[in-house]
Amino acid sequence: MNHRDTTDSRDRLLAITLHLREVRANNGVNSATRDKILATAMTMFTRRGYAGTSMRDIAKEVGIKAASIYAHCPEGKEQMLHLALQATFDQFLEYITREIRFEMTPLEQLRSLFRRHVQWQLEVGERAMAWDAAINQFGVLGVLSDEALSSIRRTQALYHAYHLSLVRIVAATQDPEDSAVALRVLCDQAPEWTVGATRAGEPDDRPARLSQLAARILGVPDF
């Protein structure tokens, strides 16, 4: 194991830790209401389209007065989309790193990251799909400013850089960059895996099956 690679992965994890600490500090006491508004907006933008969703529609769905929603997004719907995208990815980042500790080995960290990413996709599939649709469609269509889109991409880059730093240490492959991308795609597509999916009431064996595929991608005997 290369000491420089290990130090890099620790630095990447520290960057995520500091980012999430700042997010929690900035959210303040009204975070529950804010989170509900942004999660609702994210889903409605995906179902109805950005143009087909008004601030009044979002307020009605949340169960608050239309005027109240502007306390959270005084600049209007574009700000709502920006904050909804940012909040969703911050919550994803919090979720997938929750069980990771600095004293864990790189393999243990990567395994935890992978399994939590898969679980996120399976548990909150609609929100995950909404985020993917929004970041890949609304941003391209020019709804968000370049500055807003760049801020979201910077947060996304925190995860990608940390993930890649772990893959570089763990993978027994020629191209760790390709392996890292393949792992993330495998996680993102977890809800679409029906082969081996169990009937209602039975344990979902998709995480175990995906872990086996991940081991093959990494070129390791066990993952």
Q: Give the mean pLDDT of 153-182.
A: 95
Calculate ∠ Cα 8-89-190, nearest 5°.
90
**Exposed/middle/buried for 88, CB within 10 Å: 0-12, 13-18, 19+?**
buried
- pLDDT, average across residues 109-134: 87
pLDDT for the residue numbered 176: 95
The tokens describing 119, both together, are 């679980």
pLDDT at 132: 77
Closest CA to 83 of 57, 45, 51, 118: 45
pLDDT(182) > 80: yes
* Whether pLDDT at 90 is above 90: yes
Report the 10 Å Cβ neighbour count for 62: 18
What are 39-80's pLDDT values in tens digits? 899 888 888 888 889 999 999 999 999 888 998 899 999 999
Q: Taking the CB of residue 147, how many other CB atoms lie within 10 A of it? A: 8
User: In CATH, what class is 3-25+77-218?
Assistant: mainly alpha
**27 versus 176: which is more confidently predicted?**
176
**CA separation for the pair 11, 210 (Å, rounded):** 28
pTM score: 0.88
pLDDT digits (tens, 9 = 90+) for 4-14: 678 999 999 99
- Checking if the pLDDT of 205 tops 90, the result is no
Q: Please give the pLDDT value at position 138.
A: 54
pLDDT band at 140 (very low <50, low <70, confident <90, very high): very low
Q: Report CA Rg, the chain.
A: 19
Assigned token pair, 100: 């990771």
Q: Give the closest residue to 86 by CA, choosing from 146, 32, 150, 142.
A: 150
Residue with structure tokens 């700042």?
A: 22
Q: Where are the domains of the chain?
A: 3-25+77-218
pLDDT tens-digit series, residues 93-105: 999 999 999 999 9
